[in-house]
């Protein structure tokens, strides 16, 4: 027990979900993961223990204050859950998202300057330029999968801003490989008998091939940069030129793990958040009209300095991430017998913080299912209880890219909405596909409507 964080001895056993003794709610977890999370948040609004497949003790938290304990105040008693650590390891290796303790601390310190406020501001121009190019190429009535388009755009942005590299030609290989990796990883997590990646099942072999394709792209970029030798002042240069206390540089494998982590964590989530934002805007024309008039009032394409004049646009993006948080659950494993609130939690349980459940709690959010960006205007966000809104997590493992992502969402949304409007191709609601992140099932099929307006977006 970490003395600094040990509370007085917890007294209460965890409430347990009864029924389905053998498999627990595994069937629901496989078929309707989000529905299960939302149902449990209603029946057990704070914490509940259940078992699932071979995981005997799974603890689900839907309370902001208990989430704050796990992620922040008592985080020393927890590491990341093995699901992510084992099943995503072939892709992410020992990069920032999956590493622990000293390795994590060192790498987080090393990468921090790339995410400092001033540096991020300098990325805004690239974000705006790339988005403008995408939006300007859309024609009236064009059908497109907005989820896929956002994936390409955010990948292009992360490639250019963090790695000073053009990755457009690699987007297909990366997109396909990433989807395969997440499907296999999530399929294994929801399986009765998960097969770790080293077992050569057909699924795992497909996974291995997908990772090999990703590796080809990343190692090629590393090779080119090592050969060039110059310090371009981007993240890749930081990684290639970093030296530890003994003066040793990072191996190709270490550079690959960090680069892969940033490339993947840095585009997938933002793309999903944007796809859901366009979905919600299409279903709420009054919100869309208000956002467009804020953007039109600028009279020109938005730049970094204009962002402060677009508070409603940012509120739209934040509210979309409340209803559809890309990282909808966060997993941890206690490394010792410990407590959460007044409940005893056993070492090696799987603790899942339900971001989705917390974001729709009726005691925190009035009329929680309603899409209402006003919730994020003025001082209202500051008045929320700690961890009531946490699309980026909390505590020392909070998303390193959170300011990057918020700015990117803000810029992309404003730049696109000035030129085009996306309408849904079908009236049927889009289903959720909760892989590691919350994706729209089968994509987000929409039709582009080019806007003509006084702001003069179009000639
Ligand atoms: C809307 C977009 C994004 C969302 C919703 C998001 C969400 C998150 C969340 C919830 C975590 C914490 C995971 C945990 O505690 O288990 C995280 C970590 C991380 N994110 Fe993001 N993220 C986004 C964008 C980005 C971007 C743009 C980057 C990089 C350019 C990035 C890089 C990372 C990294 C490296 C970590 C691991 C940090 C650590 O453990 O120290 N993310 N992200």
- 3-state per-residue secondary structure call for 366-379: CCCCCCCHHHHCCC
Q: Quote the ligand 1 centre to 143 CA distance (angstroms).
A: 31
| pTM score of the predicted model | 0.92
Q: What is the pLDDT at residue 309? A: 98
Is residue 302 within 8 A of residue 459, CB to CB? The reply is no
The number of the ligand 1 atom at minimal distance from the alpha carbon of 115 is 30
The number of the ligand 1 atom at minimal distance from the alpha carbon of 99 is 40
Is residue 276 within 8 A of residue 112, CB to CB? The reply is no
Q: For the chain, which residues make up each domain, given as ranges? A: 26-450
Q: Is there an atom of ligand 1 within 6 Å of 326 CB?
A: yes
**Residue tagged 């680069």 (tokens):** 259
Q: Whose CA is nearest to atom 7 of ligand 1?
A: 392
pLDDT tens column, 10-46: 578 888 876 554 455 555 666 677 888 888 888 888 9
Q: What is the pLDDT at residue 8? A: 58
Overall residue count recorded for the chain in this entry: 459
Q: Is there an atom of ligand 1 within 6 Å of 330 CB?
A: yes
Q: Quote the ligand 1 centre to 448 CA distance (angstroms).
A: 30
Q: What is the pLDDT at residue 459? A: 34
- Of 249, 206, 190, the C-alpha closest to 53 is 190
Candidate of 71, 98, 157, 269 to mutate for ligand 1, largest count of ligand atoms within 8 Å of Cβ? 269
Cα 407 to Cα 415: distance, rounded to the nearest angstrom? 12
The number of the ligand 1 atom at minimal distance from the alpha carbon of 111 is 35
Q: Quote the ligand 1 centre to 52 CA distance (angstroms).
A: 27
Q: Helix crossing, 268-283 with 146-163: angle to 10°?
A: 140
Q: Tell me the average pLDDT across 365-375.
A: 97
Q: Which fold has domain 26-450?
A: Cytochrome p450 (1.10.630)
The distance in angstroms from the start CA to the end CA of the chain is: 67
Is the pLDDT at 94 greater than 80, yes or no? Answer: yes
């Amino acid at each position: 027990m970490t003395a600094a964080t040990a509370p007085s001895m917890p007294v209460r056993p965890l409430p347990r979900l009864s029924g389905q003794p053998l498999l627990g709610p595994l069937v629901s977890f496989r078929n309707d993961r989000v529905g299960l999370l939302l149902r449990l948040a209603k029946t057990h609004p704070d914490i509940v223990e259940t078992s699932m497949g071979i995981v005997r003790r799974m603890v689900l938290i839907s309370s902001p204050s208990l989430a704050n304990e796990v992620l922040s105040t008592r985080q020393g008693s927890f590491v990341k859950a093995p699901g992510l650590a084992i099943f995503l390891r072939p892709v992410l290796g020992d990069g920032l998202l999956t590493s622990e303790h000293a390795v994590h601390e060192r790498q987080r310190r090393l990468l921090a300057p790339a995410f400092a406020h001033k540096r991020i501001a300098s990325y805004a121009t690239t974000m705006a330029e790339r988005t403008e190019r995408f939006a300007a190429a859309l024609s009236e009535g064009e059908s497109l999968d907005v989820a896929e388009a956002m994936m390409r755009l955010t990948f292009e942005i992360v490639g250019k801003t963090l790695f000073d590299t053009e990755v457009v030609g690699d987007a297909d290989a990366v997109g396909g490989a990433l989807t395969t990796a997440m499907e296999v990883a999530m399929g294994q997590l929801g399986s009765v008998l998960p097969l770790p990646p080293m077992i050569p099942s057909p699924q795992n072999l497909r996974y291995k091939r997908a990772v090999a394709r990703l590796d080809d792209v990343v190692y090629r970029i590393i090779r080119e940069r090592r050969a060039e030798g110059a310090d371009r002042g981007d993240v890749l240069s930081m990684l290639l030129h970093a030296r530890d206390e003994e003066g040793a540089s990072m191996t190709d494998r270490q550079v690959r793990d960090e680069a892969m982590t940033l490339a993947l964590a840095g585009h997938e989530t933002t793309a999903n958040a944007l796809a859901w934002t366009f979905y919600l805007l299409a279903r709420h024309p009054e919100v869309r009209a208000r956002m467009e008039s804020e953007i039109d009032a600028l009279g020109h394409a938005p730049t970094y300095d204009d962002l402060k004049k677009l508070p409603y646009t940012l509120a739209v993006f934040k509210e979309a991430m409340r209803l559809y948080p890309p990282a909808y659950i966060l997993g941890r494993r206690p490394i010792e017998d410990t407590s959460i609130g007044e409940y005893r939690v056993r070492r090696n349980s799987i603790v899942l913080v339900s971001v989705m459940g917390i974001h729709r709690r009726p005691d925190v959010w009035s009329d929680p299912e309603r899409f209402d960006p006003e919730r994020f205007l003025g001082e209202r966000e500051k008045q929320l209880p700690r961890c009531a809104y946490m699309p980026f997590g909390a505590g020392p493992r909070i998303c390193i890219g959170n300011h990057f992502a918020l700015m990117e969402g803000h810029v992309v949304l404003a730049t696109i909405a000035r030129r085009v409007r996306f309408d849904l191709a079908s009236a049927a609601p889009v289903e959720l596909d909760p892989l590691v992140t919350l994706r729209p099932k089968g994509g987000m099929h929409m039709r582009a409507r080019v806007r003509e307006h006084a702001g003069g977006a179009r000639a």
